[in-house]
Amino acid sequence: MPSHPSSLLELSEELLAVATEAATKAAALIMAASGRHHHHIDTKSSPTDLVSEVDRAAEACVVSVLDIHRPDDAILAEEGTSRSGTTGVQWVIDPLDGTTNFLFGVPAFAVSVAAELDGQGAVGVVVDPSRNETFAAVRGSGATLNGQPLRLPAEPPSVATSLVATGFSYLPRRRAYQAQVLARVLPQVRDIRRFGAAALDLCWVAAGRTSAFYELGLQPWDLAAGVLIAEEAGAETANLADGTVLVATPGLLRPLRLLIEGESASRRPPPTAGPVPAS
């Protein structure tokens, strides 16, 4: 039977424990399947947007944990699991972020599990099984990596010395647009990184491994856990005019936003940093 916490703190602790259990079990399943030949590979938004039986098995693993501990909560998951709930809690799940990396043997993929309370991100957990790393956050309580606090420095690098991560759509027309943006950004920063797993990109900003991350076309399950972890580590976040999500080390948000959006952005009012909606 699900518990009924008497306070928001107790609820957050319960949700964190459930998210960690679910993400850890799914990550173990994924690692057990790594290196195998996968027969059941389909496509989604384009011929290059892949989904495998491992994605679906990992999603089923996460949902099974939720069914045990939180059966009355709502669920929104990438591979199709969706249900309404009665508790005010919704779970937002990416069971295998970085499917293409996984299928090609590139060790940059993760399980992302987030819990929203009344529409606001409350808990986020991202497990990177290749590195045995668990990123976690509870709103208002900070972010951690393997239990150790994450906190970004108050003094940011300059734009010219910033290491910026990004990602690209599987849709050709959108990729062409993203290439135009990249052509503006690349000459102005230290370098660009493209890892292919948005949840990890967000967590690596939180860990100080990159200075910022931006991408157009992300979905709620790409963002829900990682954005909360980055914000709780001190990062600033914004939705840009074209729908691009930008997450940056403090002090870099405005100059990078102007660079990404182009000269026309200089005529807009300064952006308001704050949470990026998960849906």
CA angle 49, 53, 57 (to 5 degrees): 120
110-159: pLDDT as tens digits: 999 999 999 999 999 999 999 999 999 999 999 999 999 999 988 878 99
* Mean pLDDT for all residues in the chain: 89
Please state, in angstroms and rounded to a whole number, the distance separating the CA atoms of residues 254 and 238.
9
pTM attached to this predicted model: 0.88
* DSSP, residue by residue, 121-132: EEEEEEEETTTT
The DSSP output letter for 137 is: E
Superfamily of domain 8-150: Fructose-1,6-Bisphosphatase, subunit A, domain 1 (3.30.540.10)
Does the pLDDT value for residue 43 go beyond 60? no
Q: Where are the domains of the chain?
A: 8-150, 159-267
159-174: pLDDT as tens digits: 999 999 999 998 899 9
The count of other CB atoms within 10 Å of the CB of residue 40 is: 11
Does the pLDDT value for residue 265 go beyond 50? no
The count of other CB atoms within 10 Å of the CB of residue 209 is: 14
Task: Report the run of H or E that residue 16 belongs to, with start and end.
Answer: helix 8-33
Please state, in angstroms and rounded to a whole number, the distance separating the CA atoms of residues 187 and 185.
6
12-24: pLDDT as tens digits: 999 999 999 999 9
Residue percentage of the chain with pLDDT more than 70 = 86
Structural fold of domain 159-267: D-Maltodextrin-Binding Protein; domain 2 (3.40.190)
Q: Are 70 and 91 in contact (CB under 8 A)?
A: yes
* Structure tokens belonging to residue 94: 């990416």
Q: At 14, is the secondary structure helix, strand, or coil?
A: helix
